Amino acid sequence: MKYDFDELIDRRQTGSIKWSGSPNELPMWVADMDFKAAPAIIEALRQRIDHGVFGYTEPDEDWFNAYHDYYLDVHNWKIDKGSLIFATGVVPIISSSVRKLTAVGDNVVVMPPVYNIFYNSIVNNARKPLEVPLLLQNGVYEMDWEGLEKAFSLPETKLLILCNPHNPVGRIWSKEELARLAKLAKEHDVIVLSDEIHGEITTLEKPYVPFYISCEEAKEIGYAAISPTKCFNLAGIQTAAMVIDNAEIRAKVDRQINTDEVAEPNVFAVPATIAAFRDSRDWLNQMRRYVFDNRAYAERFIEEKIKDLKAIRGEATYLLWVDCSSISSDSRPLLKFLRESVELRLSDGEEYGTGGQGFFRMNLACPRSRLQDGLERLAKGIELFKKQ
Ligand SMILES: Cc1ncc(COP(=O)(O)O)c(C=O)c1O
């Protein structure tokens, strides 16, 4: 079956955060997609609604099998079902982990520019984000190994939140990089939480590498947060899982997600996840092709028509990371101007920590005609900004 990703769906008046702006604003910021979910997911939810009884619910055998079979088939990662635990979201997993695995005042390492909410989970719990910024070398972001070693050596450093693959820069970390990171973390007794929510949004030719399959040490000192919400566009359903082989870490984090009341699914979370991972793989693969065609289109457009900008060549996520520093080393006034003049809303690179200044992030998960509109607005807005 061929799915229609060109369909323009009006998301206004649905409570969408992304589409909450003025009537002509084109939102290319929040990381959700403007595509309808896969038919199998919609059907599973319809059946659940038609049942008509919405009492308390828990993950069933099919939920465990859906994750297990998907990751085994697609990534050759054999998840131990005893290590697989439901949670209402990846951010709840991160926040609960910070609370349980570190103490007030401890350092939690992040590698900016990185998903801004990592900082909230750390700072809101009175821990310190310890930044080890990625190094941009010849257009490619790399981990700073010396910086990581230094950060891990500090006695107050207890946890690293890894973004694998990396939002917003779009890097897929290689097996070698992940193994090196796991070994370094183990040497210094630092736990690694690998956020793999963007894992499925890559080209079919180059899948991401789950942290767990990089080496034995990864299973000893690390764990992963996985979810169907980003790749199947189910963020509003709030469903995720963690895989924790280390029994001590598992017991602690499991306890904390219960204390924080983020351990129980709503009635839609389980059927949506099963229908996604088990029954919607063809939709997922077509979406990946469409989104990566969008990425190629946007990269080409910027290269040919907006010479002041430089798109970073991303291998993962539907988010394009763009260097606008030649126009404005501070991205804030530029982004404000684009929103006001051509009604294009993008995410300000500044939000993603050190190294994000002078960049913006553009969400490409939309019908091609909408992407074209966004790029035309961007080109026009940049010209107007320069003329000011
Ligand atoms: C890296 C990363 N982690 C987590 C999330 C959000 O996860 P959840 O909605 O499951 O809390 C996002 C959303 O954009 C993200 O980019």
The CATH class that applies to domain 42-279 reads alpha beta
Q: List, as own/partner pairs, every contact residues 380-384 make where C-beta atoms lie below 8 angstroms and the sequence separation is at least 24, other chains included.
A: 380/342, 381/337, 381/338, 381/341, 381/342, 381/344, 382/306, 382/308, 382/309, 382/327, 384/337, 384/341, 384/342
Q: Is the CB of 229 under 6 A from ligand 1?
A: yes
What backbone phi and psi angles, to 5 degrees, belong to 136? -90, 110
- The CATH number given to 26-38+281-387 is 3.90.1150.10
- What is the pLDDT at residue 52? 98
**Is the backbone peptide bond immediately before 39 cis, with ω within 30 degrees of 0?**
no
Do 170 and 312 form a contact (C-beta atoms < 8 A)? yes
Q: Where does the pLDDT of residue 204 fall: very low under 50, low under 70, confident under 90, or very high at 90 and above?
A: very high
Q: Which of 115, 119, 171 to mutate to test the pocket of ligand 1 (most atoms within 8 A of CB)?
A: 115
pTM for the model stands at: 0.98
Exposure string for 1-10, b = 16+ CB within 10 A, e = fewer: eebebeeeee
Q: What is the DSSP string of 15-49?
A: T-STT-S-TT-EE--SS--SSPPPHHHHHHHHHHH
Q: How far is the CA of 380 from the centre of ligand 1 (A)?
A: 31
Ligand 1 atom closest to the Cα of residue 90 is: 10
Q: Nearest to residue 318, comparing CAs of 167, 175, 176, 207?
A: 167
What span, in angstroms and rounded, lies between the C-alpha atoms of 48 and 54? Answer: 9
Report in angstroms the alpha-carbon separations of 381 from 24, 336, 342, 364. 15, 11, 6, 18
Q: What is the mean pLDDT of residues 219-230?
A: 98
- What is the pLDDT at residue 1? 86
Q: Is the CB of 90 under 6 A from ligand 1?
A: yes
What span, in angstroms and rounded, lies between the C-alpha atoms of 81 and 104? Answer: 32
Q: Where does the pLDDT of residue 272 fall: very low under 50, low under 70, confident under 90, or very high at 90 and above?
A: very high
Q: How far is the CA of 119 from the centre of ligand 1 (A)?
A: 13
Q: Where does the pLDDT of residue 253 fall: very low under 50, low under 70, confident under 90, or very high at 90 and above?
A: very high
In 3-state terms, the chain is what percent helix, strand and coil (to 5)?
45, 15, 40
Name the burial class of residue 22, with classes exposed (0-12), middle (13-18) and buried (19+) by CB atoms within 10 angstroms of its CB: exposed
* pLDDT reading at 318 higher than 90: yes
pLDDT in tens, 16-57: 999 999 999 999 999 999 999 999 999 999 999 999 999 999
Domain with CATH 3.40.640.10 in the chain: 42-279
Average pLDDT, the chain: 98
- What is the pLDDT at residue 336? 97
- What is the pLDDT at residue 180? 98
Element (H, E) at 108: strand 107-110
Q: Nearest to residue 71, comparing CAs of 169, 196, 175, 160?
A: 196
pLDDT in tens, 54-71: 999 999 999 999 999 999
Place of tokens 């697989």: 84
- What is the pLDDT at residue 205? 95
Domain with CATH 3.90.1150.10 in the chain: 26-38+281-387
What span, in angstroms and rounded, lies between the C-alpha atoms of 42 and 40? Answer: 6
pLDDT in tens, 331-362: 999 999 999 999 999 999 999 999 999 999 99
